[in-house]
Structure formats: C-alpha cells, structure tokens
Amino acid sequence: MSGEFDFIQTYLSDRQMNRKDVHLSLGDDCAIVKAPENVRIALSTDTLVAGTHFLANANPAWIAHKALASNLSDLAAMGATPAWVSLALTLPTIDEPWVKSFCDAFFELANYYHIQLIGGDTTKGPLSITLTVQGFVPEDNALTRDGAQIGDWIYVTGQLGDSRAGLEVILDENQRHKPFASELEKRHYLASPRILVGQALLDLASAAIDISDGLIADLGHILHRSEVGASLNVEDLPCSKELLDFCYSSRVAQQYALSSGEEYELCFTVPEENRGSIESALAHTGTLVTCIGQVRTQGIFEVLHHGKPVDWQLSGYDHFKA
C-alpha cells in the first residue's frame, strides 16, 4: 500500500450508509453536514495514546472499539443521539492486517449507533487515535453535571469494577492465573456506551456523567458542579460475579467498583418524584440500573457499609497526578 490516500480509499471510504444529513463526507477539504431543526449539537473529543490508554500490541479491533466507545459514552452522558464522527489517526506504519482489523471493528460499532465517519486526518508517528464525535440534543434539554439537588437518588448503569480488574490483567502477567482474568481483560476494552439510557434519562435525571476516571472521581464532578454532597452505600454497588471471584472478596470488589476508571457506565441523579418512572423508562434499554446512594448537603461525602463509614483510601484517576 503506497500511503495515506490508498489507506483512505481501501479502508475508510464507502464503508457506511450515507446519513441524509451528511452532504459531503470523506474526500474533500471539509465535510458538510446539516443538523435538523430544533436540536443543538453536542460535541466531544477524546484521544487514546498507545502506552497510556492501551498497549501498542493490543488487539486492534479492541483498540478501535475502546476509542469509539469512550467517545460515544460522552454523548450518552449528555443524553445525545450520535450523528457524526471524525478520526485523526497517527500510525507508525500502515500495517495492513492491523488497519483492516481496526477499521472493521470501528465501522461495526459506528454502524450500530448510526454514527457516520465524515472526515479526519492520517499521519505517521507514534500510534494515537483522536476522535471528535457530534450528536443531537433537544434545544431545551441535555443531561449536564450541574443539576443534582439535595435528596436526589444516585444511580449507576451496569456493573462496576471489571475494567480495573481487566487493566490489572493487561499490565501484570502474574494476574493471569486469577479467575476470569481473560474475560475481564476483554471487558476492559469492550464497554457498551449507554446511548439509549442517556436518551431515556433526558426528562428524568437531574445530572449525569460517564465513569471514565472512577465512580468517586466522576461523582465528585457532579457534586462539585451542583454544589452538593453525597452518601454512598457500598453494599449496593453492582459488582459482577466474575469480579467477585477475581478479587476473592466482596470488600476488595467494592473498592474496585468505587475507583475503577474507563468503565463507560453512567452515574446519574434522579429526583424523588421521578424515581418511580426509572424502571419503566429504561426497560427497553435492557440495561441494569442500581441506586447506590443519595445527594446530601454540600461538604458531606460519606461512603457507608451498612450505615457505618468505611476507612478505605479512595481516589480516581488523574493523568497528571504523580
């Protein structure tokens, strides 16, 4: 393959149905798109760098899934409907089996969520992937971090902690013998962005965020922006059977659930009056949701085990912390 142009032709062009709102896609200097009436555009960019977000020798299909899923998760956290994505790809070489596997997985996930690749850039250098996703939110409504009120209930989707266990398996050979090690490794890469849940929560949740740095850190962002506090009940944290076996103890699994990053589950708050509607509003999504605590006055942050404060050291992930 001779280079960037061939790569675009062979692996990126004509891989998707053309959305009606895409007037010009790959091939010109810019893409041209048109949003429907009465929507606003939600837009987000995320970068994944080899060695930081994935190992360079990881399965390319899993890398592609993680890159797109983590970006779609930001749209989900706003209640947005995915529309368009652009892809800035930096590759050390154009290794054909690698790019084929990467692109096949990318388009499989993109097609599932009706998000169209409309442009991007391809350069040579250390492996890194930057995606910009765009989606639609109603003109008068989006899930933001700043709406939580005292008394609201705190929920999470899915199960928490698996991603951290998977990451430990990826980084430490000695963890491979533990129960469900390869299943958890796979889950680390193959998150399901909670697009349908986010959309269904638009009229029900007071605040939402996706869990990328860990529950404690990301709930912390909601609390900070909403100027409130919280209490969490660790016995209610949803942990998978595989995680419980991997950790050999429910206490350790709960600690993973509180701190595990890159989960791409949603954490959201629901006013008392909407609580009864949550189950039916989310039934069609087939997604587990669990109430794990309640919003309190600012300054309070309690992590309770059957009503008693735990004394665990808790933190989330920050790229620039030592």
Residue choice 6, 95, 96, 121 for contact with Mg ion (CB under 5 A): 121
| Beta-bridge mates of residue 209 | 267
53 is known to lie in a ligand binding site: yes
Angstrom distance (rounded) from CA 82 to CA 58: 27
Confirm or deny that 74 is annotated as ligand binding: yes
Give the CB-side neighbour count of residue 258, counting CA atoms within 13 A: 24
Residue 122 binds: one of ligand ADP, Mg ion, none (C-beta under 5 to 8 A by kind)? ligand ADP
Position with the least CB separation from ligand ADP? 120
121 binds ligand ADP (CB under 6 A): yes
Binding of ligand ADP by 117 (CB under 6 A)? yes
Q: Is 93 annotated as a binding residue?
A: no
> Residues touching Mg ion: how many (CB under 5 A)?
1
Query: Is there binding between residue 316 and ligand ADP (CB under 6 A)?
Result: no
Structure tokens at 34: 């048109």
Q: Which does 8 bind (CB under 5 to 8 A by kind): ligand ADP, Mg ion, none?
A: ligand ADP
Considering the complex, what minimum distance in angstroms separates the CB of residue 121 from Mg ion? 4
Query: Which 216-245 residues touch ligand ADP, going by CB under 6 A?
Result: none
The CA–CA distances, whole Å, from 52 to 126, 128, 224, 248 equal 12, 10, 27, 28
Task: Decide if residue 122 touches ligand ADP (CB under 6 A).
Answer: yes
In the range 166-195, which residues lie near Mg ion by CB under 5 A? none
With CB under 6 A as the contact rule, which of the stretches 22-30, 46-54, 94-102, 108-116 interacts with ligand ADP?
Answer: 22-30
Measured from the CB atom, the residue of 17 and 322 that comes closer to ligand ADP is 17
Helix 181-189 with 162-171: angle, nearest 10 deg: 110
Task: Write the burial class of residue 37 (CB in 10 Å: 0-12 exposed, 13-18 middle, 19+ buried).
Answer: exposed
Does 28 sit near ligand ADP (CB under 6 A)?
yes
* Cβ pair 219, 314 in contact under 8 A: no
Contact (Cβ atoms closer than 8 angstroms) between residue 187 and residue 202: no
Closest by CA position to 99, among listed 134, 78, 129: 129
113 is in an annotated binding site: no
Q: Which is nearer to Mg ion, 117 or 232 (CB)?
A: 117
Residue 112 Cα distances to 14, 46, 72, angstroms: 16, 20, 11
What is the enclosing helix (H) or strand (E) of 219?
A: helix 215-226
75 close to 113: Cβ distance less than 8 angstroms: no
**DSSP-assigned beta bridge partners for residue 129:** 48, 89
Residues 67 to 106 in contact with ligand ADP, rule: CB under 6 A: 87, 89
Identified binder of ligand ADP from the candidate list 2, 14, 20, 29, rule CB under 6 A: 29
27 binds ligand ADP (CB under 6 A): yes
How many CA within 13 A on the CB side of residue 127? 19
Q: Which residues are part of a known binding site for Mg(2+)?
A: 29, 44-46, 74, 121, 210, 213
Q: Which residues are part of a known binding site for substrate?
A: 53, 262, 317
Q: Which residues bind Mg ion (CB under 5 A)?
A: 121
Q: Which residues bind ligand ADP (CB under 6 A)?
A: 8, 12, 26-29, 87, 89, 117, 119-122
Q: Which residues are part of a known binding site?
A: 29, 44-46, 53, 74, 120-121, 145, 210, 212-213, 262, 317
